[in-house]
A and B are shown apart, each in its own frame.
Chain A
Amino acid sequence: MTALADGRAGELEAHFDETIARDRRIEPRDWMPDHYRATMIRQIAQHAHSEIIGMQPEGNWITRAPSLRRKAVLIAKVQDEAGHGMYLYSAAETLGADRADLTAKLVSGRQKYSSIFNYPTLTYADVGVIGWLVDGAAICNQVPLCRSSYGPYARAMVRICKEESFHQRQGYELLMTMMRGSEAQRAMVQDATNRFWWPSLMMFGPPDDQSPNTAQSMAWGIKRHTNDELRQRFVDMTVPQAGKLGVTLPDPDLTWNSERGHYDFGAVDWAEFTAVLKGNGPCNAQRVAQRKAAHDDGAWVREAAAARAAKQAARDRAAREQDTREQDTA
């Protein structure tokens, strides 16, 4: 590289650093370090994939919803998850990614999604607990991302957070209804809580001392709090909600620590987290296979629509040329 080009690159980088330092947003056509671009694409794609795969555990229950009201709510919720995935793929594309390529990477296992969606949904209480705990944890994670330094991602997060509030509330209301029901229904809620509590805590990622990218991500303003900070915030928010609901969180070490002003909680099983992330969770293979099948089954629709659009465009072009000729001869 020539001295001149070096100077220019330094200037661009200084401008980027200054934008970050002033807590201003980076926008799509701005110069940005390659590593920032790659990190953002990975973060946004992983988030988008989580929304898309996240349709499956609950979508599983649409045909067996206990009432028309619950069914309408669940369809709307699952449709929102699809919408969130689309907002996020849209944001990733502003960085030069192509969503067909991201989908290919998801179904071939080259990109990941949140480990939480690799757990099965065994009863209808799981729909409620996913809304309450899983969407609750997602909100904890996502609210600070509304201030992400990357503009299109931050704006997508604002839309998503507005919609997540409905998700969490419908889940909690569903659980309150079940808790007012029979002994068997209360047992279902407790069982679902037992199964989803620890995986929900894992959603915040590994402990801070095992999270090597956190420092760089915080410096770039694409992460605003550490994993452990957000996990603690979620625990503090959720304990009183569990009390109100009348369920017990499955952690004997969960106690209020008045010195810290926070709840203490037991050790998360990080070996389980690692195993699920590596593909050995209860549903990993099924989730990816179903996503791939849906994509493959839709291929003929995509091709047919593209063929029709090409034909229509050719017809429109011919009609315009005909008009021009007639005007010329008139």
Chain B
Amino acid sequence: MDDAPVRSEWPLYEVFLRGKRGLNHVHVGSLHAADPQMALHHARDLYTRRNEGVSIWVVAAADITASSPDEKDPFFAPSGDKVYRHPTFYEIPDDVPHM
């Protein structure tokens, strides 16, 4: 028996859905398709069978650049030590209204 792994003939696309107007697109999963138009149709059939979306984005998975978990700490370090970006950093007396 041939044990060499078989590769898909169609590339992988990641699918993002806008659940309803006023919300961001959110990643929901992936699928294989020959081209972006087909990916869009497959995404509709697969991820919106029950009105889960009003808008779909598909992106070839190979085109996504992501941060690597290995560099997690150093990569996000710049925001780690800037507590003054949060409103809770500032002491305001309780009796100052509307703050």
Asked if A100 and B34 sit within 8 Å, CB to CB, the answer is: no
In this complex, how many residues of chain A approach chain B with their Cβ under 8 Å: the count is 33
Contacts of B29 on A, CB cut-off 8 Å? 86-87, 90-91, 152, 156
Asked if A305 and B34 sit within 8 Å, CB to CB, the answer is: yes
The interface-forming segment of B3-11, B74-82, B85-93 is B3-11
Shortest Cβ distance from B5 into A: residue: A101
Interface membership of A21, Cβ < 8 A: no
Given contacts A29-B66, A30-B69, contact A101 B7 (CB under 8 A): yes
Query: Is chain A's interface secondary structure helix, strand, loop, or mixed overall?
Result: helix
Shortest Cβ distance from A104 into B: residue: B6
| A87 and B43 alpha carbons, distance in the complex (Å) | 11
Contacts of A93 on B, CB cut-off 8 Å? 12, 30
Interface membership of A256, Cβ < 8 A: no
* Contact flags A295-327 to B (C-beta < 8 A → 1, else 0): 000000011011011001100000000000000
Could you say which interface size class chain B belongs to?
20 to 34
Asked if A90 and B30 sit within 8 Å, CB to CB, the answer is: yes
B9 CB to nearest chain A CB (Å): 5
Given contacts A31-B69, A303-B9, A306-B34, contact A108 B46 (CB under 8 A): no
Asked if A79 and B31 sit within 8 Å, CB to CB, the answer is: no
Interface membership of A59, Cβ < 8 A: no
Interface membership of A99, Cβ < 8 A: yes
Shortest Cβ distance from B10 into A: residue: A306
Contacts of A99 on B, CB cut-off 8 Å? 8, 32
Q: Using CB atoms and an 8 Å cutoff, list the residues of chain A in contact with chain B.
A: 27, 29-31, 76, 79-80, 83, 86-87, 90-91, 93-94, 98-101, 103-104, 108, 110, 152, 156, 163, 302-303, 305-306, 308-309, 312-313
